[in-house]
């Protein structure tokens, strides 16, 4: 019996239908709107920092860059801001816990677009970029220095550059070589022995160093990724092609990110962060002191002499809304940590505030399992997604990590 083969046109029609069935549906209008909101093109201009009148002064940024990489701004002469914030590693260091003079209790955060955050550090214990920059300088585990040490160093080595920006340095004759409110017992005693006027004068010099470093850090921004090129094409009503194209798996991961997996609940906007603090059930690290996150930090930022309302801020009280109206109590603050930006995250393991999770796949698994928090209550509920969906989510995350 002779076998009858279908004609080529019929085969083509069948194959065309099969391919159409496999092709993912087009993004809905709602999805397109969400995609547009995630693009760096949607990021507004960097707002001014009313607490730092030098924030956008080029000379201050150049001076801040010098200070950022200056190892002599440490007790042992080996540690600079750039020691942990490495240029070729997204201004972080790939370590679970940052290492200055000794090892700290938290992971180094990347610095791209950090100037847009209303509160700094994993727990938000500082409310401006310059106040944040000052903190490691006095931390015994990081730079380990003190305020008069820094003033004497600037006077001896960088006086001309300092004075061109901030005006004349004070007379340091007779002031202790090492004195500060957060140093060792001898340094604290020397600080207490200074007059209030002397302490305020030295703290003013110290605050200016932070303002210069912050001016430099404001120049560190995210670069566009393959996702941004895709988003811009979609927003313009064009078909993403070439470097703007995403694979079907990556688009599937994107849809999960903004839909079923609901990652966008916290990782939203062009920086993929809501800048808020959440308890997500991250485990504690054995051997480290108890870390309650935001619960402890609210008191620290309120008491910080360099906060928005402090004497060294260039802002009036009307500009300090974030500080004045922040949530200061409640169970939601216990073990709550800042939502990190996901830009570049695929390329900077380990993860979480103390590097508790080693791989991106394990991060997704954490949200699938949603374990209970060591203390407080986790906001996370178990996520039901398949292995294919997990892989798609990770594929999408890599598109914002070029």
pLDDT at 24: 61
Residues 6+ apart with CB under 8 A from 49: 55, 115, 128, 129, 130, 214, 218
% of residues, the chain, pLDDT over 70: 94
Q: Is 92 helix (H, G, I), strand (E, B) or coil?
A: strand
pLDDT tier for residue 25 given thresholds of 50, 70 and 90: confident
Q: What is the pLDDT of residues 141-177, one digit of tens each?
A: 999 999 999 999 999 999 999 999 999 999 999 999 9
pLDDT at 276: 98
Average pLDDT, the chain: 94
- For 244, what's the count of Cα atoms within 13 Å in the CB-facing half-sphere? 15
Q: What is the pLDDT of residues 185-196, one digit of tens each?
A: 999 999 999 999
Residue for token pair 């001898």: 186
Q: What is the pLDDT of residues 366-379, one digit of tens each?
A: 999 999 999 999 99
Please give the full DSSP string across 96-139, using - where no structure is assigned.
SS-BSSSB-SSPPPP-TTGGG-SSBTTTT-BSSHHHHHHHHHH-
- Do residues 348 and 94 touch, judged by C-beta distance below 8 A? yes
pLDDT tier for residue 8 given thresholds of 50, 70 and 90: very low
pLDDT at 5: 41
CA distance 250 to 226: 11
- Do residues 86 and 93 touch, judged by C-beta distance below 8 A? yes
Query: Is 90 exceeded by the pLDDT of residue 2?
Result: no
Query: Is 60 exceeded by the pLDDT of residue 18?
Result: no
pLDDT tier for residue 312 given thresholds of 50, 70 and 90: very high
pLDDT at 26: 87
Fold agreement (27-46+223-291+334-398, 58-217): yes
**CA 373, 341, 215, 318 torsion: positive or negative?**
negative
Mean pLDDT value of segment 65-71: 98
% of residues, the chain, pLDDT over 90: 93
Any idea which fold 27-46+223-291+334-398 has?
Cytochrome Bc1 Complex; Chain D, domain 2 (1.10.760)
- Do residues 35 and 254 touch, judged by C-beta distance below 8 A? yes
Mean pLDDT value of segment 22-35: 85
Domain segments of the chain as ranges: 27-46+223-291+334-398, 58-217
Any idea which fold 58-217 has?
Cytochrome Bc1 Complex; Chain D, domain 2 (1.10.760)
């Amino acid at each position: 019996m002779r076998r009858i083969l279908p004609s080529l046109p019929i085969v083509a029609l069948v194959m065309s239908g099969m391919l159409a069935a496999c092709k993912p549906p087009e993004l809905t209008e709602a999805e397109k709107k969400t995609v547009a909101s995630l693009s760096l093109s949607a990021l507004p201009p960097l707002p001014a920092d009313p607490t730092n009148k030098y924030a956008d002064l080029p000379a201050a940024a150049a001076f801040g860059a010098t200070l950022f990489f200056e190892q002599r701004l440490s007790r042992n002469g080996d540690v600079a801001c750039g020691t942990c914030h490495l240029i070729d590693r997204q201004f972080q260091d790939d370590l679970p816990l940052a290492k200055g003079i000794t090892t700290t209790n938290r992971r180094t955060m990347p610095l791209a677009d950090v100037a847009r955050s209303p509160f700094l550090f994993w727990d938000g214990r500082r409310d401006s970029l310059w106040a944040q920059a000052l903190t490691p300088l006095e931390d015994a585990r990081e730079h380990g220095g003190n305020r008069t040490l820094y003033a004497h160093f600037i006077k001896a080595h960088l006086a001309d550059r300092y004075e061109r920006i901030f005006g004349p340095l004070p007379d340091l004759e007779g002031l202790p070589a090492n004195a500060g409110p957060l140093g060792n017992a001898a340094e604290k005693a020397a600080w207490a022995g200074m007059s209030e006027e002397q302490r305020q004068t030295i703290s003013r010099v110290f605050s200016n160093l932070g303002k210069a470093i912050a001016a430099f850090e404001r120049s560190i921004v995210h670069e566009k990724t393959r996702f941004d090129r895709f988003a811009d094409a979609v927003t313009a009503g064009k078909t993403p092609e070439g470097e703007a194209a995403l694979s079907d798996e990556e688009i599937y991961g994107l849809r999960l990110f903004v839909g079923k997996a609901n990652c966008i609940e916290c990782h939203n906007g062009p920086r993929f962060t809501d800048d808020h603090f959440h308890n997500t059930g991250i485990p504690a690290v054995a051997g480290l002191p108890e870390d309650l996150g935001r619960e402890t930090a609210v008191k620290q930022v309120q008491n910080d002499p360099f906060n928005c309302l402090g004497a060294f801020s260039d802002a009036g009280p009307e500009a300090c809304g974030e500080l004045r109206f922040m949530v200061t109590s409640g169970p939601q603050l216990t073990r709550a940590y800042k939502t990190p930006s996901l830009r570049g995250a695929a390329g900077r393991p380990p993860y979480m505030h103390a590097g508790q999770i080693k791989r991106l796949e394990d991060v997704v698994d954490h949200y699938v399992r949603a374990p209970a928090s060591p203390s407080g209550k986790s906001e996370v509920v178990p996520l039901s997604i398949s292995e294919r969906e997990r892989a798609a989510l990770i594929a999408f995350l890599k598109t914002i990590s070029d």
